[in-house]
Amino acid sequence: DFQMTQSPSYVSASVGDRVIITCQASQVINNFLNWYQQKPGKAPKLLIYDATNLQIGAPSRFSGSGSGTHYTLTISSLQPEDIATYFCQQYDNLPPLFGGGTRVDIK
Protein backbone atom coordinates (compact mmCIF):
# COMPACT_ATOMS: atom_id res chain seq x y z
CA ASP A 1 0.00 0.00 0.00
CA PHE A 2 1.17 3.48 -0.86
CA GLN A 3 1.88 5.50 2.30
CA MET A 4 2.81 9.02 3.37
CA THR A 5 4.59 9.14 6.73
CA GLN A 6 5.02 12.43 8.54
CA SER A 7 7.41 13.04 11.41
CA PRO A 8 7.42 14.07 14.09
CA SER A 9 3.76 13.75 15.00
CA TYR A 10 4.18 16.49 17.60
CA VAL A 11 6.74 19.24 18.05
CA SER A 12 6.98 21.88 20.75
CA ALA A 13 9.38 24.74 20.13
CA SER A 14 10.08 28.26 21.33
CA VAL A 15 9.16 31.44 19.49
CA GLY A 16 11.92 32.16 17.01
CA ASP A 17 13.03 28.54 16.69
CA ARG A 18 13.48 26.78 13.38
CA VAL A 19 11.03 23.92 12.95
CA ILE A 20 11.41 21.17 10.37
CA ILE A 21 8.66 18.69 9.49
CA THR A 22 9.31 15.76 7.20
CA CYS A 23 7.11 13.73 4.91
CA GLN A 24 8.31 10.40 3.58
CA ALA A 25 6.54 8.73 0.68
CA SER A 26 6.67 4.97 0.19
CA GLN A 27 7.60 5.55 -3.46
CA VAL A 28 8.93 8.36 -5.62
CA ILE A 29 6.35 11.14 -6.05
CA ASN A 30 8.26 13.48 -8.38
CA ASN A 31 7.77 16.64 -6.27
CA PHE A 32 3.99 16.25 -6.58
CA LEU A 33 3.60 17.23 -2.94
CA ASN A 34 1.65 19.92 -1.14
CA TRP A 35 1.59 21.19 2.45
CA TYR A 36 -1.45 22.43 4.37
CA GLN A 37 -1.84 24.29 7.66
CA GLN A 38 -4.86 23.54 9.83
CA LYS A 39 -5.52 25.76 12.82
CA PRO A 40 -7.71 24.42 15.65
CA GLY A 41 -11.36 24.25 14.65
CA LYS A 42 -10.67 25.43 11.09
CA ALA A 43 -10.34 23.86 7.68
CA PRO A 44 -6.90 23.16 6.22
CA LYS A 45 -5.33 25.91 4.12
CA LEU A 46 -2.93 25.36 1.26
CA LEU A 47 0.51 26.54 2.32
CA ILE A 48 2.96 25.17 -0.25
CA TYR A 49 2.28 23.49 -3.58
CA ASP A 50 4.49 21.46 -5.90
CA ALA A 51 6.91 20.86 -3.01
CA THR A 52 8.54 24.30 -3.05
CA ASN A 53 6.07 27.01 -4.12
CA LEU A 54 4.67 29.29 -1.44
CA GLN A 55 0.94 29.90 -1.78
CA ILE A 56 -0.04 33.54 -2.26
CA GLY A 57 -0.51 35.18 1.13
CA ALA A 58 1.50 32.62 3.09
CA PRO A 59 4.33 34.07 5.21
CA SER A 60 7.83 33.83 3.77
CA ARG A 61 9.11 32.06 6.91
CA PHE A 62 7.52 28.90 5.48
CA SER A 63 9.46 26.97 2.86
CA GLY A 64 9.36 23.55 1.28
CA SER A 65 12.05 21.35 -0.18
CA GLY A 66 12.78 17.79 -1.11
CA SER A 67 12.84 15.30 -3.93
CA GLY A 68 12.17 11.67 -4.67
CA THR A 69 10.49 10.22 -1.60
CA HIS A 70 11.65 12.71 1.07
CA TYR A 71 10.19 16.20 1.58
CA THR A 72 10.42 18.83 4.28
CA LEU A 73 8.45 21.83 5.48
CA THR A 74 10.54 24.41 7.33
CA ILE A 75 9.35 27.24 9.53
CA SER A 76 12.41 29.46 9.76
CA SER A 77 11.33 31.41 12.85
CA LEU A 78 8.33 30.00 14.72
CA GLN A 79 5.62 32.54 15.58
CA PRO A 80 2.67 32.18 17.96
CA GLU A 81 0.24 32.28 15.03
CA ASP A 82 1.92 29.17 13.56
CA ILE A 83 0.30 26.94 16.20
CA ALA A 84 -1.47 24.42 13.98
CA THR A 85 -1.36 20.94 12.53
CA TYR A 86 0.50 20.57 9.26
CA PHE A 87 -0.31 17.94 6.63
CA CYS A 88 1.49 16.84 3.50
CA GLN A 89 -0.47 15.55 0.49
CA GLN A 90 0.78 13.75 -2.60
CA TYR A 91 -0.87 13.71 -6.02
CA ASP A 92 1.55 11.59 -8.01
CA ASN A 93 -0.77 8.63 -7.51
CA LEU A 94 -4.54 8.33 -7.29
CA PRO A 95 -6.22 8.73 -4.93
CA PRO A 96 -4.60 11.81 -3.42
CA LEU A 97 -3.17 10.83 -0.06
CA PHE A 98 -2.47 12.89 3.04
CA GLY A 99 0.17 12.38 5.69
CA GLY A 100 -0.91 11.80 9.28
CA GLY A 101 -0.16 15.34 10.39
CA THR A 102 2.31 17.15 12.65
CA ARG A 103 1.01 19.24 15.51
CA VAL A 104 3.15 22.29 16.25
CA ASP A 105 2.97 23.97 19.63
CA ILE A 106 4.79 26.75 21.45
CA LYS A 107 6.90 25.90 24.51
Ramachandran area for residue 92 (φ above 0: left; ψ -120 to 50: alpha; else beta) = alpha
Coil/strand/helix, residue 6:
strand
Coil/strand/helix, residue 82:
helix
CB of 49 to another protein, least distance (A): 5
Q: Give the C-alpha separation, 64 to 72, whole Å.
A: 6
Strands 10-13 and 102-106 come out as parallel
Binding site for another protein (CB under 8 A): 32, 34, 36, 42-46, 49-50, 55, 87, 89, 91, 94-101
16 or 95, CB closer to another protein? 95
16 or 41, CB closer to another protein? 41
17 or 101, CB closer to another protein? 101
CB of 105 to another protein, least distance (A): 18
18 or 39, CB closer to another protein? 39
CB of 59 to another protein, least distance (A): 16
CB of 15 to another protein, least distance (A): 27
HEC assignment per residue over 51-86: CCEECCCCCCCEEEEEECCEEEEEECCCCHHHCEEE
